[in-house]
Structure 1
Amino acid sequence: MALLRIEAGGTVIMQTLDALTEIARQAGERIQQVRREGLTIASKLGGEVVTSADRASHEIMMAGFGRHFPDLPRVTEESAEHHIPRPPFLVADELDGTAPFSHGLGDWGVMLALVDEAGPSHGVMVLPDRGVLVRAARGQGCVINGQPVALGPGDDPAATLVAMDLNRQLQPAQWQRLQKLAAACQGVRSHYCAAVSTYELLAGHLGLYVNCIGGRIWDFAVPALAVREAGGCVAAPAGGGLVWDRVPMGLVATADESLMALWRGL
């Protein structure tokens, strides 16, 4: 995949995907190291789980951003404050899937994206325990471990697996919609990790992934770019396109338009 050159703050940033990949891999390796040495687990404001591995990954990312993207503002999950700057800016999820990770599961990942005026333009997703690297760039496609991804017409919904994130923030109407989706499809998976669910969609295991509420921009910048570049469809769960000027957001991603139409019709 060819790499783009972009202008940001007067600095020429070269080989954007390679730089993001380097940072993501280093963060993933650091997370695994901290896990081997022993995790410290705590709760953030709002009851979300945070671990010493999240914070260690954040330190790796800040150092990497300083080397490769010194002039770009950053929006990361573990930052003290969250606000959307004027683009271009970087978005990072230091450890997506902290909850399953903290329970000893391998359903977690690291995601980094560059966002410009039109949305995510470059994205990297690393799933260290699965040995998976996903890279995507606007107009240049998506690859998994170097192999191009091309989503297309899938199975009948009744023969399709879907993934959905289930959490305590779901409202009754959203629960009802998810129940209708489950009834229309073969089965449901819930990793509680956007990176893993997106990878399984890109790999052809799933036909649809949805997070109705509770997600953030760092959860969906890479998934939205990767699925779109692979030929799939992405939208806001309540309808309409995705917007990148706010932190809270949801995502519905599908392998083809027919599955997106199914979601819209529920």
Structure 2
Amino acid sequence: MPATDLPLLIEAARESGKIATRYSGSKAQRWDKPDGAGPVTEADLAVNAMLEQRLPSARPGYGWLSEETEDTQHRLSRDRVFIIDPIDGTRSFTEGSSTWAHSLAVAEHGQVTAAVIYLPLRDLLYAAAKGQGATLNGAPIVVSDTQDITTAEILAAKPNLDSRHWCQGRVPQFRRNYRPSLAYRLALVGQGRFDGMLTLRPSWEWDIAAGDLIVQEAGGICTDRLGAPLRLNNPHPRLNGVIAANPPLHRQLADQIDPDSAGIAP
């Protein structure tokens, strides 16, 4: 339940920050996952171990989905599930950057009900509970009110601007910016620091779940690349890209993406 799950997630996120910051990013032991799935460090695993012990113990009826835990079908039988990325932006962590984040969420029947994104090195804690709004360090946040896509600043990796992804090859002329953590990008949209974000490639649920609710509770819209509502805790936990923005900009972005480009890797 959001009212009780959110304080639990906040406490767990702060403890995650204490653990992760004991490691020196560039010196932390690191391995590369199979099949080009990216790096993992001893910090990721230490945070995951703490969360996997603490959160299910506090909510024994909940399922578990984490980037750093081998997935099982057990979670699919649970009404509520934790969706966790112990460190989102591991490459940034290993480079000594401060833009990595802990991303923690609870989803009920496929919809996120409580969420936290925490950047310990920047002292930024974004939080939301369904129906209760979104906050940054306890203060309410709202999405931007930019109406015109040509003046909007959108967080997106450069490959997403390939003309093949856009109707008739016409790429919208927004201003592009970038942050390495998907969770942080979504939080920045909820905060109103940026007008929107998009990623057109398949995205893991643990990168998106917490930010989905934060954007929505801040007054924005968060969908897949085709404008369909996000549903979490899928058998294969990947989403068909993500668009997040205030309602007018979301509509403009979604209307201009070519639905037939889904098979093209951005």
- TM-score range (shorter-chain normalised) is 0.7 to 0.9
Change (3 A) 1:162 1:45: same
Displacement after TM superposition at 1:248 (Å):
0.7
1:42 maps to what in 2? 31
Please, which moves more after superposition, 28-37 or 117-126? 28-37
- What's the CA shift string for 1:198-246, capped at 9, x where partnerless? 2221222211111211421111111111110110111111232212242
Percentage of pairs with the same residue: 22
1:229 maps to what in 2? 217
Change (3 A) 1:201 1:237: same
- 1:264 is the counterpart of 2:233: no
Displacement after TM superposition at 1:132 (Å):
0.5
AA of the residue aligned to 1:134: Y
- 1:252 is the counterpart of 2:253: no
User: How many residues are treated as equivalent by the alignment?
Assistant: 249
- What's the CA shift string for 1:11-37, capped at 9, x where partnerless? xxxx21111111111112211102279
- Alignment check: 8 A CA contact 2:24 2:96 kept: no
Structure 2 counterpart SS, 1:184: coil
AA of the residue aligned to 1:173: R
- What's the CA shift string for 1:66-119, capped at 9, x where partnerless? 442233220000012255523211110100011222222111100111110151
| TM-score normalised to structure 1 length | 0.85
Please list every run of at least 4 consecutive aligned residues from structure 1 whose deviation after the TM superposition is greater than 4 angstroms. 169-172
Displacement after TM superposition at 1:172 (Å):
7.5
Alignment of 1:128-167 (within 5 A): 128-165=120-157
2:11 maps to what in 1? 22
**Which residue of the other structure, out of 189, 199, 219, is the alignment partner of 2:207?**
219
- Alignment check: 8 A CA contact 1:211 1:252 kept: yes
Change (3 A) 1:34 1:152: closer
- Alignment check: 8 A CA contact 1:152 1:231 kept: no
- Alignment check: 8 A CA contact 2:147 2:249 kept: no
1:198 maps to what in 2? 186
- 1:95 is the counterpart of 2:84: no
Tell me, which stretches of 5 or more residues in structure 1 are unaligned? 5-14
AA of the residue aligned to 2:69: S
- Alignment check: 8 A CA contact 2:216 2:222 kept: yes
Change (3 A) 1:82 1:127: farther
Q: For 1:26 and 1:19, how far apart are their aligned partners in 2?
A: 11
Change (3 A) 1:210 1:245: same
- 1:33 is the counterpart of 2:22: yes
Q: For 2:58 and 2:113, how far apart are their aligned partners in 1?
A: 16
Structure 2 counterpart SS, 1:244: coil
| TM-score normalised to structure 2 length | 0.85
- Alignment check: 8 A CA contact 1:108 1:193 kept: yes
- 1:57 is the counterpart of 2:47: yes
- 1:120 is the counterpart of 2:109: no
CA RMSD of aligned residues (A): 2.5
Structure with more of its chain in helix, by fraction? 2
Change (3 A) 1:66 1:218: same
Q: For 1:77 and 1:172, how far apart are their aligned partners in 2?
A: 32
Structure 1 counterpart SS, 2:211: helix
AA of the residue aligned to 1:223: G
2:103 maps to what in 1? 111
